[in-house]
Homo-oligomer: A and B are copies of this chain.
Amino acid sequence: MQLTLDPDSEVSIYQQIRDRIVEAIAKRQAREGDPLPSTRQLAADFGINFHTVNKAYDLLRQQGVIRINRKSGAVVRRDATTGPPEAAFVNDWEERMRVLLAEATVHGMDRQDVLRRCEALLISFEEGV
């Protein structure tokens, strides 16, 4: 799993770590039961504070994506094969999707264009790219 961070992004570091890990699981580069790097390992790789990595992992844990064992560290708990989504997740997700789709519409992307791009992204996950 190869992660790249942008320290100048307006997205906070811990959010970026979380986003990259979610993407890696979507691409099936990491699967249910697979271990994640230790927080100290990841922090050293990126030259950031390990509390920041901790925060990202804690967020993933709250969202049900990973579980954290004192012994074995962080492990993927949730991937595409685990089962159908929870209703609460879908509600929240649709709220965020509505905003993103509204933006696309306002900026002149038409319905087919948007759907084609979404499909292409989803297929790229399935192909693990």
Contact = CB atoms under 8 A, between A and B. Distances in A.
A8 B69 contact: yes
Stoichiometry, as copies per complex, reads: 4
A68 interface: yes
B7 A69 contact: yes
A118 B109 contact: no
A23 B102 contact: yes
B96 A100 contact: yes
A78 B119 CA distance: 26
Interface string A31-59: 00000000000000000000000000000
Contacts of A96: 100
A96 to B, nearest CB: 6
Given A8-B68, A26-B103, 17 more contacts: A19-B99, A22-B99, A22-B103, A23-B98, A23-B102, A25-B106, A78-B108, A82-B108, A83-B108, A93-B100, A93-B103, A100-B100, A101-B125, A105-B122, A111-B119, A115-B119, A118-B118
